[in-house]
Structure 1
Amino acid sequence: MKRIPILPSIVVLVAVGIMIGLGIWQLQRAIWKEGLLARYATAKALPTMAFPSVPDSRSEELLFRRAGAFCLSVTKWNARAGENRAGEPGWRHLADCRRGGAEGPGMLVDMGWSTTADAPAWKGGQVNGVIAPDSRRRIMLVSDIAAPGLQPSAPPTPAQIPNNHRAYAWQWFLFAATALTIYAIALRRRIRQRSS
Structure 2
Amino acid sequence: MRWRSLLLPGLVALAALAVLLGLGTWQLERLAWKNDLLARIEARAYGEPGAIPPESAWDRFSPEEDEYRRVRLTGTFLHDRETAVHGLMSASRGQPVQGYYILTPLRLPDGAIVVVNRGFVPTERRDPATRPEGQIPGETSVTGLLRRPEERTAFVPENAPAREDWFTRDPAAIAAARGLARVAPFIVDADAAPVPGGLPRGGQTVLRLVNNHLQYALTWYGIALTLLGVFAAFAWRRLRGADDAPPQAERRGA
TM-score using structure 2 length: 0.57
Tell me the matched-pair count.
192
Aligned match of 1:153: 202
- The alignment-based identity, stated in percent, is 23
**What secondary structure does 2:3 align onto?**
coil
Q: 1:32 is matched with which residue?
A: 33
- Structure with the largest fraction of strand: 1
Partner Cα separation in structure 1 for residue 211 and residue 125 of structure 2: 31
Partner residue, 2:112: 103
1:19 aligns to what?
20
More deviation, 125-134/29-38: 125-134
Structure 2 gap segments, 5+ residues each: 151-167, 171-186, 246-254
Q: 1:185, CA displacement in angstroms? A: 3.5
Structure 1: runs of 5 or more not aligned: none
What are the within-5 Å matches in structure 2 for residues 48-59 of structure 1? Answer: 48-50=50-52, 58-59=62-63
With over 3 angstroms needed to count, the CA separation of the structure-2 counterparts of 1:16 and 1:40, relative to structure 1, is: same
For 1:56 and 1:113, locate their aligned partners in 2 and report how far apart those are by CA, in whole Å. Answer: 33
Q: Distance in 2 between matches of 1:92 and 1:56?
A: 30
SS at match of 2:71: strand
Residue type of the partner of 1:76?
E
User: Contact 2:40–2:68 at 8 Å: present in 1 too?
Assistant: no
Retained in 1: the 8 A contact 2:118–2:202? Answer: yes
Determine whether 1:62 maps to 2:66.
yes
Q: C-alpha root-mean-square deviation of aligned residues, in Å?
A: 3.8
Bigger Rg, which one:
2
1:170 corresponds to which of 218, 226, 245: 218
SS of the residue 2:190 aligns to:
strand
Partner of 1:76: 82
- TM-score normalised to the size of structure 1? 0.71
Corresponding residue for 1:142?
Answer: 190
Q: Which amino acid aligns with 1:81?
A: L
